[in-house]
Structure 1
Amino acid sequence: MTAEVTDPRSSRRLRHATRIPAHRALAAVLSVIAAFAGFGIVFVETSLNRINDSFTTQDISALLPKVTPTASADPEDAAAGQALNILLLGSDTRLGEDNQELGGGDVEGMRNDTTIVMHISADRSRIEMVSIPRDSRVAISDCRMLDGSTVKGWTGKFNIAFANGGRNGNVAEAAACVATTLYDLLGLEIDHYAVVDMEGFTEVVDALGGVPMCIPNDVYSKKAHLDLEAGAQVLDGETALAWARARTGTGLGDGSDLMRIDRQHELLTNIARKALGLNLLTDATKGTAFITAVAESLTMDPEFGDSHYLLGLAWSLRNFDTENLYMTTIPWEYPGDGTGDVVWKEAEAQAMFDAIMADQSIIPEADATDPTASASATASPEASPSATSSASATPSITPSPERETEQDILDSCVIDQ
C-alpha cells in the first residue's frame, strides 16, 4: 500500500510524491518540439508505418526449444551518485488479527516505538543510522492530511507526531507527519520512508531465517512475552520482535526507551551481518526473494516501493563493508524534572544532522581510534548518544569485504561471568 503525501514547505522532501509525473513533463517537451517540426515528424512516422506494413510477421517462439535465459544485466542504481535519507518507522498498529495477537490485544490508534533516520552516502561506502527516542520532548508540527484537513501539533513526546498523522488509520499520513516534524526541527529532508508493523517485522526476520544474537544475560518480560537464557542463539521473527519492543522485566536494564534502542541497534546490526553473509546483495535469486518478502511487509513511498529501484540500490551496496555501518542516537540529556522525558542537546543534534545533510561522516573520532567504543544510554543526568559501531573515520572500500556466516556470528558471542 502506498500513498502520496505532499507538503509545500519542502519541494524535495518526499519529492517522488510531489514532482510532476514524468510522462506529463515529457509530453510538454515533445509538444514544443512538435510545434516546430510537425510536418517532418508526421512524414517520418507515416513512412515508418508504411515500411512496417510491408513486413510479414508471425511469432514462432512457442515452436522453439525452451532455453533458460541468461542472467540479465546488473541492476542499475536509480539514485547513483546521490546521498539518501530514509525514514524508518516501526508501528505498533493493531490493525489485523496478527498485529493484535503480537501486540497483546486491540489498542485504538497507532504509535511508533522506533524511529530511525538511515543515511546512505552518495558513494555507497557508509550507512549511518540515527535513532530518535520516542520520549524526546519536542515541538510536534501541524500535520496536513490527504483530505485537506490539519491536525494541530503541540509540545510533547516525539511519537505524538506518528499518532497525530495516523488518526485516520493511514500509515503514510503518519510517516508524513514524522517527516514534517523532523524537517521543522532539524531541516532534514527525507527522500524515502518505510513503515513496518509488528507482523511485517516478524515476516522480514523469518524470511532471513532468523537473526543470530548474543544475549548477555537471562531475560524475562511477561508483558513482552519474552523469556531468553543468556548465550548465543538464533531468534525467530516473533522472538526478535519481543526483544526489540521489551522495556520492562528482568535483565532489561532500567526499563527506559534508551536501553531498548541499544538492543534494537544490536539486532539491526546482526540482521545486516547475516544478510550480507548470505550474499543476498550479490545472488540475484536470493536477493530478489528476500527483497520481495521485505517489500510485502512494509508501507513505502512509490519510488522506494519499486522492485527495480530496491534491487538497484541493493546491488550498489553489494561491496558494502559492515565496518562502515554506524548506529547511534541523537544527542540527548534528561531535563531533570522527573518526567522520564529526554531533551535533545540542540547544538550537538543540529551539528550531527548538518553533517548528514552534507553527506559527511558522523563517526566520532573516539570510535575511529577504538573500534569497540560505545557510549551506553544509561540513566545519567547528562548522557551521550549511544553508539554501536566498528567503523573507522575513513571508510574502507574493498572489492570483497569479509563476510560472516551465521555460525561465525554465534561463535563471536562471549558472556561475562
Structure 2
Amino acid sequence: MLALLILGAAGTGAWVYRQLDGNIHAADVDGKIGGDRPENLSPGSKNILVVGSDSRDGDNAAYGKGLTTMQSDTLMVMHLAADRKWATVVSLPRDSWVRIPACDRGDGNTSDPHRFKINESFAIGGTGGDVAGAAACTIKTVEQSTGLRIDHFASVDFQGFKGMVNALEGIEVCPEAPIDDPKAHLDLEAGCQTVQGEDALGYVRTRYSVGDGSDLGRIGRQQEFMEALAAKARKTLTSPADLYGFLDSATRSITTDRALAGVKPLASLASEVQDIPSDRLTFVTVPNYAREADVPTDKANVVWQYPQAGDLFRSLAADREIDGKALKKAAANPLYARSVQVRVLNGTGVSGRAAQVAEELRALGFTVVGTGNAPRQAERTAVLHPPGMENHARVLTSRLHGAKADQDARSADQALTLIVGQDYDGVT
C-alpha cells in the first residue's frame, strides 16, 4: 500500500498501471459468505483480513509435497480507524482452536460445523481449488469467532513475499542463536545479517527449530519482520524505478476481494493511512494459552484467553485504539476455563437443553458441576456468580452472546449458575 501510494505520487505512465492491474487477482467472496454477519458498529473504520497463503501450487510446490488442499500459513486482521489516525494488526495463531461454521467446499459439498484449528477454514473452503471459496470460509470463521465485520480480504503467497524482500535488497534480522531448519529451508548463523530470497522466507516461516517451537514465536518474528520491511520501504522506495520490482512481485502474488482488486483502489486505501505515525501502528497477538491447560490430551493447539480476547475484539468493533502493552499486561495471568465451575439450568422449556449446553461448555474446557431446570422460564441467558467471582463470570459470559452477569449473594459455593434463556444461540 505504501509503495502504491509513492507510485501514484511519482506520476508513473499509464502502461505501468495497466501492467500492475493485470497482475492482481480478484476473488468474488461476497456471494459465498452468506448472511448472519456481524454489524459494522463503527462506520468508516475498516477490517482487512490478510492471509499468508502457502498453497503448494506452481513455484510454491518446493515448500511441501503431498499436500492436497490449499493452506494458510499466517492470518491477521488489520483494523484501520475511522479517522485514519491509528491502526492495529491482530495476529490470529494458526493453531487457534475455534468453531468453524458450515462452509461450501467448492466441490459440490458443504462441511459440517465443528471445532478445529482456525487455519483449516482456508483448506475447507478451498477444497475445489478456488481462492474465493477459501477466503469466504476463512472470513465466516473469523467473523463468528471475533464478532468483527470483515470489509476486505487479501492473500499473498510465498513467491510474492520473496520478491518484495528482494526488491528492497533484503531485510536485517538478528537471531540470538543459530537456526538450522530443513523444513523452512533455512540455515542461519547467530547475529545480525541481511536476508533475502529463500532465507527471508525461511526466517518468517521457521517454527520448530527456534525457541519453544510454537506458532506464537513465529508470529513475533513475522511482526518484527513486517515492521522492518515497512520501515525500509518507506525509506528506500522513492522513485518509480525503485518501486517497479517491488510492486511487480507484490501484485503478481496477491489476491483480493473485487473491491480492492486494482492499483487504484489499493492506492486509494494507501492514501487514507499514509499519515498514521509508526507509534500508532500497533501489532498484537490475540491473548491465548495452551489448550492443554483445559484439555490435558491436547498438546498441539491454543485457545483464546477470555475475557481479554473478548475485550480486544469489542474495542476494535467500537473503533477504540488498542494499547498493546496494557493488553499484554492484562493477559499475563490467564484464568483457565477449567478453573471455572458452572451449574447449568434450563430456562428454555425445551427438554434436554441443559445437558446439551453442558456438553458444549465441557468441550471448551469448563468444569460443569451439575445440570437441572431453572425455577421459571427465562427469555434471556444470564450468569449468576458468588461474591468475589466476578472474573470467573467474565470468562464465561465472554463465550456467550449477549449474556449478562449478576452477583448472587445467596450462593454458598464457588460455582457459577448459568441460566440458559430462550435467546441462547451457542458458545463462541
User: Fold match, TM over 0.5?
Assistant: yes
Q: What is aligned with 1:189? A: 149
1:272 aligns with 2:272: no
Q: What is aligned with 2:389? A: none
Are 1:10 and 1:189, in contact at CA under 8 Å, matched by a contact in 2? no
Alpha carbons of structure 1 residues 185 and 318: separation in structure 2 relative to 1, 3 Å: closer
State the Cα deviation string for residues 310-356 of structure 1 (Å, max 9, x = none). 11222333333222221111111223214221111232212111111
Unaligned 5+ runs, structure 2 = 1-24, 337-428
Q: What is aligned with 1:129? A: 89
State the Cα deviation string for residues 366-406 of structure 1 (Å, max 9, x = none). 48xxxxxx77x99x997xxxxxxxxxxxxxxxxxxxxxxxx
Alpha carbons of structure 1 residues 82 and 287: separation in structure 2 relative to 1, 3 Å: farther
Q: Tell me whether 130-139 or 318-327 shows the greater mean CA deviation.
A: 318-327
Are 1:203 and 1:297, in contact at CA under 8 Å, matched by a contact in 2? no
Query: What pairs with 1:4-403 in structure 2 (closer than 5 Å)?
Result: 4-5=28-29, 6=31, 7-9=33-35, 82-96=44-58, 98-101=59-62, 103-144=63-104, 149-249=109-209, 252-279=210-237, 286=242, 290-335=246-291, 336=293, 337-339=296-298, 340-364=300-324, 366=326
Q: How far apart are residue 287 of structure 1 and its match? A: 5.1
* Corresponding letter in the other structure for 1:348: Q
What percentage of residue pairs aligned between the two structures are identical? 37
Q: Distance in 1 between the 2:132 and 2:95 partners?
A: 22
State the Cα deviation string for residues 183-220 of structure 1 (Å, max 9, x = none). 12222111111112222221222233322222222211
* Corresponding letter in the other structure for 2:173: M
Higher strand share: 2
Q: What is aligned with 2:362? A: none
* Corresponding letter in the other structure for 1:345: Q
Q: How far apart are residue 13 of structure 1 and its match? A: 8.7
State the Cα deviation string for residues 100-159 of structure 1 (Å, max 9, x = none). 12x043421122121000112222222211111111111111113567752223111111
Q: What is aligned with 1:396? A: none
Q: What is aligned with 1:400? A: none
Q: Distance in 2 between the 1:115 and 1:183 partners?
A: 13
Q: How far apart are residue 284 of structure 1 and its match? A: 6.1
Are 1:204 and 1:297, in contact at CA under 8 Å, matched by a contact in 2? no
Which of these two proteins has the greater Rg computed from alpha carbons?
1
Q: Distance in 2 between the 1:232 and 1:123 partners?
A: 38
Q: How far apart are residue 364 of structure 1 and its match? A: 4.0
Partner-residue secondary structure (3-state), 2:183: coil
Partner-residue secondary structure (3-state), 2:200: helix
Unaligned 5+ runs, structure 1 = 15-80, 368-373, 383-417
Q: Distance in 2 between the 1:183 and 1:137 partners?
A: 15
Q: How far apart are residue 85 of structure 1 and its match? A: 0.8
Q: Distance in 1 between the 2:223 and 2:160 partners?
A: 18
Q: Distance in 1 between the 2:200 and 2:113 partners?
A: 33
Partner-residue secondary structure (3-state), 1:194: strand
Q: How far apart are residue 3 of structure 1 and its match? A: 2.3
CA RMSD of aligned residues (A): 2.8
* TM-score normalised per structure 1: 0.66
* TM-score normalised per structure 2: 0.65
